[in-house]
């Protein structure tokens, strides 16, 4: 990583003063807790369907909707999707920008190996384009600035990464708790490994960023076994963390939420919005009852396309087996992050030799990056922010983010955004968290088989259950396909289809 004393400019105090004095342009009226134009799918809670369905799918995110799309393709029309919110997409959500463009508030990138979601997008006629990352990035630590030009890769000590990648080859992501050294590797945090293997302060910084960005937690809290399993499915530390040939390479034209919107439009009133599931009863019998404020739905199979902490909010009768209940209770759901989008009249940072990226170990900003539309008709910088340090007031949040940009790049133009959007995922009651920051010890606690093991009529889906790319949109799609196949198989075995 090259280093030099960085961008000079006004102090944060001066910038905040200027911002408060009103030099900021007008922006859209979204609240800090989110901007989301509703998809053109059914909006209100409809009365329940009569009779006993073959399948109820709970959750209209990528996992649930992929499962729902597969059922009629396989000839089964006896199903419904129950979605709590009045929109589909779950952890994918588009901020609507000017001229019909969008910027993603949630999941946005795919990369090599994300073949399931890439395939789904092709089937839905949704194009992709590459993110732009040419130019210098700025790394911030307190008052220090370091500039680096990694050209979409990750600037790391290659021998250290080679050692880490070699260890990851021992840890396939499917059932990592079964590998021979599982307990030893799960006892350690990523920080412990680095400590033992002689990482320099710069290495520690790179690993720390990686841990916070991929898992929303510092590396002292992240299980080494879990992180190695991620490195394994990505094919290495650099492809997991990088943009060029990496997991952060490619975006969808129209934004990632468009996949869910297209599927929901095709399924029409099979997708019931604003229908939160509160209780599930009789899952140990032939007909399961799914209770919502709009009434009770009945089915032979139920796919829960939800993260374990969201399942934990549903009441089950009879109560779930001990291991499943315990897993839901202990599942880490604390990756507190907000994601913002700041719109400018052009992506002028590229003209100045910067790529829009700031990575910061402290302060409110975690990582910013260019998120301009493919034709760059205006410029967008998105950022992951430390939610606890973001003001809840929309204007104050905008001024804070703008001041960090202006201060870092020493340029007052950043104080004049055209639009600002923010979404705090920790405050989103139907997401709770972006990712699952697995702490040391949980993978080898003996509870993990309960993540996917069906319980009576209940089948578990959602990205967390995927064998590869769990935590990612690709994992969500894979889990949806698998759950649909399993539901069809169980119906067929019972002679129901």
Ligand X SMILES: Cc1cc2nc3c(=O)[nH]c(=O)nc-3n(C[C@H](O)[C@H](O)[C@H](O)COP(=O)(O)OP(=O)(O)OC[C@H]3O[C@@H](n4cnc5c(N)ncnc54)[C@H](O)[C@@H]3O)c2cc1C
Positions in 312-331 near ligand X (CB under 6 A): 314
Residue 63 lies near ligand X (rule: CB under 6 A): yes
SS (H, E, C) 355-400: EEEEEECCCCEEEEEECCCCCCCCEEEEEEEEHHHCCCCHHHHHHH
Place of tokens 């404020």: 293
Smallest separation, CB 177 to ligand X (Å) = 21
Q: Using CB under 6 A, pick the residue from 310, 359, 451, 486 that binds ligand X.
A: 310
Q: Using CB under 6 A, pick the residue from 438, 472, 482, 483 that binds ligand X.
A: 472
Rounded-to-integer distance, Cα 446 and Cα 177, Å: 8
Positions in 97-116 near ligand X (CB under 6 A): 106-109
- What is the x/- site pattern for ligand X, positions 391-430, by CB under 6 A? ----------------------------------x----x
Burial class (CB in 10 A: 0-12, 13-18, 19+), 453: middle
Rounded-to-integer distance, Cα 289 and Cα 279, Å: 8
Size of the site for ligand X (CB under 6 A): 38
Q: Using CB under 6 A, pick the residue from 217, 355, 403, 431 that binds ligand X.
A: 431
Residue 92 lies near ligand X (rule: CB under 6 A): yes
Q: Using CB under 6 A, pick the residue from 32, 56, 261, 434 that binds ligand X.
A: 434
Nearest to 411 by CA among 339, 350, 340: 350
Smallest separation, CB 152 to ligand X (Å) = 15
Strands 52-58 and 79-82, bridge-based pairing:
parallel
Question: Which tokens belong to 416?
Answer: 């004049």
Q: Are 209 and 1 in contact (CB under 8 A)?
A: no
Residue 277 lies near ligand X (rule: CB under 6 A): yes
Q: Are 148 and 1 in contact (CB under 8 A)?
A: yes
Q: Which part of the chain contacts ligand X (CB under 6 A), choosing from 37-45, 226-234, 303-311, 400-408?
A: 303-311
List all residues 6 or more positions away from 380 whose beta carbon is below 8 Å from its beta carbon.
97, 103, 341, 342, 343, 344, 347, 370, 371, 372, 373
Smallest separation, CB 113 to ligand X (Å) = 11
Residue 91 lies near ligand X (rule: CB under 6 A): yes
Q: Are 300 and 55 in contact (CB under 8 A)?
A: yes
Q: Is 491 helix (H, G, I), strand (E, B) or coil?
A: helix
Smallest separation, CB 76 to ligand X (Å) = 20
Residue 332 lies near ligand X (rule: CB under 6 A): no
State the residues that interact with ligand X by CB under 6 A.
Answer: 58-64, 82-85, 90-92, 106-109, 276-277, 305-307, 310, 314, 337, 339, 425, 430-431, 434, 462-463, 471-474, 476
């Amino acid at each position: 990583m090259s280093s030099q004393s960085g961008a000079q400019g006004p102090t944060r105090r001066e910038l905040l003063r200027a911002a408060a004095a009103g030099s900021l342009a007008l922006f859209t009226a979204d609240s800090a807790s989110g901007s989301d134009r509703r998809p053109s799918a059914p909006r209100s809670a409809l009365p329940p369907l009569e009779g006993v369905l073959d399948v109820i799918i709970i959750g209209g995110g990528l996992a649930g909707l992929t499962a729902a799309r597969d059922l009629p393709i396989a000839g089964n029309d006896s199903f419904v999707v129950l979605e709590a919110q009045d929109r589909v997409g779950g952890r994918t959500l588009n901020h609507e920008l000017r001229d019909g463009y969008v910027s993603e508030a949630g999941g946005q990138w795919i990369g090599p190996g994300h073949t399931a979601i890439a395939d789904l997008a092709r089937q839905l006629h949704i194009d992709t384009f590459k993110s732009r990352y040419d130019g210098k990035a700025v790394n911030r630590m307190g008052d220090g600035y370091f500039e680096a030009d990694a050209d979409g890769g990750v600037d790391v000590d290659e021998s250290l990464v080679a050692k880490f990648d070699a260890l990851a080859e021992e840890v396939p992501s499917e059932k990592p708790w079964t590998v021979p050294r599982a307990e030893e590797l799960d006892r350690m945090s990523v920080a412990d490994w680095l400590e033992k293997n002689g990482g320099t302060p710069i290495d520690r910084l790179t690993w720390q960023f990686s841990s916070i960005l991929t898992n929303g937690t510092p590396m002292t809290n992240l299980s080494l076994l879990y992180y190695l399993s991620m490195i394994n499915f990505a094919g290495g530390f650099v492809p997991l963390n990088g943009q060029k040939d990496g997991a952060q390479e490619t975006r969808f034209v129209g934004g990632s939420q468009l996949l869910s919107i297209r599927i929901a439009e095709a399924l029409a009133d099979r997708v019931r919005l604003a229908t939160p599931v509160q209780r599930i009863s009789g899952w140990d019998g032939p007909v399961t009852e799914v209770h919502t404020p709009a009434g009770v739905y009945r089915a032979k199979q139920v796919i829960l396309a939800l993260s374990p902490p969201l399942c934990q909010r549903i009441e089950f009768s009879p109560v779930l087996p001990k291991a499943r209940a315990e897993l839901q209770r202990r599942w880490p759901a604390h990756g507190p992050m907000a994601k913002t989008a700041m719109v400018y009249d052009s992506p002028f940072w590229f003209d100045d030799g910067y790529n829009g990226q700031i990575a910061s170990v402290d302060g409110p900003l975690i990582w910013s990056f260019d998120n301009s539309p493919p034709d760059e008709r205006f410029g967008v910088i998105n950022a992951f922010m430390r939610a606890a340090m973001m003001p809840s007031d929309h204007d104050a949040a905008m001024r804070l983010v703008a001041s960090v940009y202006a201060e870092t790049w020493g340029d007052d133009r950043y104080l004049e955004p055209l639009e600002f959007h923010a979404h705090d995922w920790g405050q989103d009651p139907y997401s709770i968290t972006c990712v699952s920051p697995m702490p040391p010890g949980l993978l080898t606690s003996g509870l993990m088989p309960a993540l996917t093991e069906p319980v009576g009529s209940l089948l578990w889906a959602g990205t967390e259950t995927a064998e590869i790319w769990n935590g990612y949109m690709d994992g969500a799609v894979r889990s949806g396909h698998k759950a649909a196949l399993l539901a069809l198989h169980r119906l067929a075995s019972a002679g129901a289809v």
